[in-house]
Amino acid sequence: MSTTTTTPAPPGAPAAEERKGLGSRFNMNTLLVEGRALIALVIIIVIFAVMSDNYLTAGNLTTITKQVAFNAIVALGMLLVILNGGIDLSVGSIVGFTAAVAGNLFRGVHVPGTDLTMFPSLWVIIVLSLAIGMLVGWVNGLLIARLNLAPFIVTLGMLYVARGLTEVLLNGQNITNELTGQPGLNNTGFFEIFASKPLGLPLAAWVMIILAIIFSILLNRTPFGRWLYATGSNERAAQLSGVPVIRVKTLIYVLSGLCAAIVGILQMANISSATADLGTFYELNAIAAVVIGGAALSGGRGTVRGTIIGAFVIGFLANGLVIVGVSPFWQKVITGAVIILAVAVDQIQQIVQRRRSAARAVASAKAAAASRQSTDGTSPSS
């Protein structure tokens, strides 16, 4: 009477096939989720290319790519946080804060108690600024992972704190002229490097590509990546499997801070100054890119590839709307609608998928029962 477990070949075979079907369909599904964003991207490009001759020009594509890169780099950090089931609202402020810190380092640091002012060299400035971004992220991470505070609240608070500190550092003045540096102070070359276009592509785009590759490897090839997906899907089970959930959680906010800091430096080079409102709303664009790219806000699902495509969807859409002359007010309405549409389609698709697989399972169970009844009439009771 152990027919259900040690199944002989005939009833077991269809069930096994069924399972395989589910598995391969799941892969199809992930492909569709990302493919959908890609299809949206193609549609957007075609529509705007038809509507305007200026859309697909080399000059405009360079502009778009730069804008996409800024968003995509922030979004890569956001992806890690969202994979964990968290959220990082502070990244836009970290962008501004990093630029303000870097700008002030170019202006020189007054040594307290003396008349001396120290001028760090270019690369010291860059490293210190990135470290500041990571530090802010680390504080986020500690509060969230160690004290178990809600990521939404902690990073919302940090959004205000970092933005406020940016304004304190800038004190109402943009930093522009000092960024060029002085040969005597060994801090020149900022624009030459960070606003450069190696092989015709803006540096920001190169950084995006390199970070995308690194993050892709990080997520798919390292224990950290596996741990991140595991904690995002089921933190309790991951913890019992020996995953250092607190360390993972802390590290993702540090990396998110680092990504924002990189954008802070690049954006400062791009607009040639450190301003108090640099990076405002970047967090929202980043979240949108991650979500359009097929990630689940509840954690555990999402890819680097999808996130990059998501950033391109937003970038191409925003730029196209400007080029064809849609008013800025309607631009916001359309962008928002696209984000909601992307998530809604994702959700509907998953519901349909679930119903279908349930229906299939019922059908196969019925078939198995029928075949069992026809092959042997001796199933119940021992």
Partner 1 sequence: MSSEARVLDQHEVAPDDGAVVLQAVDIAKTYGVTRALKGVNFEVRRGKVTVLFGENGAGKSTLMKILSGVEKPSAGQLILDGEPVNLESTNDAVARGISIIHQELNLASNLSVRDNIFIGREIRTRTGAIDYGKEREITEQVMTRLEESISPNTLVQDLRVGQQQVVEIARALAADARILIMDEPTSALSATEVEVLFKVIRELKAHGVAIVYISHHLEEALEIADYAVVFRDGELVATEKAANIDLGWVVRQMVGREADYDFRDEPRDFGDVALSIQGVTVAEPDTGRVVVNNVSLDVRQGEIVCLYGLMGAGRTELMEALAGRDAISGGRVLLGDQDIRDLTIQERIAAGMGLVPEDRQRDGLIQMLSVGKNMSLPSLLSTVKSFFIARKIERENVDRQIADVRVKTTGQDALITSLSGGNQQKVVIGKILLTNPKVILLDEPTRGIDVGAKGEIFALLFREAKKGLAVLYVTSEVGEAITASHRLIVMSKGRLIREFDPRTATRDQIMAASGEHATHYDHEAAEGAHQ
Residue type, 179: L
DSSP-assigned letter for residue 111: P
Instruction: Find the length of the chain.
Output: 382
Q: How many residues bind partner 1 (CB under 8 A)?
A: 46
For position 147 contacting partner 1 by CB under 8 A, the verdict is no
In terms of Cα–Cα distance, which of 258, 90, 273, 109 is closest to 177?
A: 273
Residue 76 class from Cβ within 10 Å (0-12 exposed, 13-18 middle, 19+ buried)? buried
Stretch that binds partner 1, among 4-12, 127-135, 184-192, 342-350 (CB under 8 A): 4-12
The smaller minimum CB distance to partner 1, of residues 35 and 244, is found at: 244
What gap in Å lies between CA 309 and CA 304, rounded to an integer? 9
For position 138 contacting partner 1 by CB under 8 A, the verdict is no
Q: Phi, psi (5° rounding) for residue 169?
A: -65, -40
At closest approach, how far in Å is the CB of 141 from partner 1?
Answer: 18
At closest approach, how far in Å is the CB of 217 from partner 1?
Answer: 8
Q: Which residues contact 242 (CB under 8 A, 6 or more apart)?
A: none
At closest approach, how far in Å is the CB of 16 from partner 1?
Answer: 6
Stretch that binds partner 1, among 22-30, 97-105, 124-132, 169-177 (CB under 8 A): 22-30
For residues 163-199, b (16+ Cβ closer than 10 Å) or e, as one string?
bebbeebbeeebbeebbebeeebebeebeeebbeeee
The smaller minimum CB distance to partner 1, of residues 104 and 307, is found at: 307
Q: What character string, x for contact with partner 1 (CB under 8 A) and - otherwise, covers 230-259? A: x-xxx-xxxxxxxxx---------------
Given 146, 197, 221, 356, the residue binding partner 1 (CB under 8 A): 221
The smaller minimum CB distance to partner 1, of residues 189 and 244, is found at: 244
For position 351 contacting partner 1 by CB under 8 A, the verdict is no
The smaller minimum CB distance to partner 1, of residues 4 and 114, is found at: 4
Q: Other C-beta atoms within 10 Å of 337: how many?
A: 10
Q: For residue 177, what is the enclosing H or E element?
A: none
What gap in Å lies between CA 260 and CA 262, rounded to an integer? 5
For position 371 contacting partner 1 by CB under 8 A, the verdict is no
Nearest 5°: the CA angle 258, 132, 264 is 55
Q: Phi, psi (5° rounding) for residue 115?
A: -95, 5
At closest approach, how far in Å is the CB of 364 from partner 1?
Answer: 7
For position 6 contacting partner 1 by CB under 8 A, the verdict is yes
Stretch that binds partner 1, among 112-120, 127-135, 324-332, 364-372 (CB under 8 A): 364-372
Chain residues in the site for partner 1 (CB under 8 A) = 1-2, 4-6, 15-16, 18-20, 22-23, 26, 217, 221-223, 226-227, 229-230, 232-234, 236-244, 300-301, 357-358, 361-362, 364-366, 369, 380-382
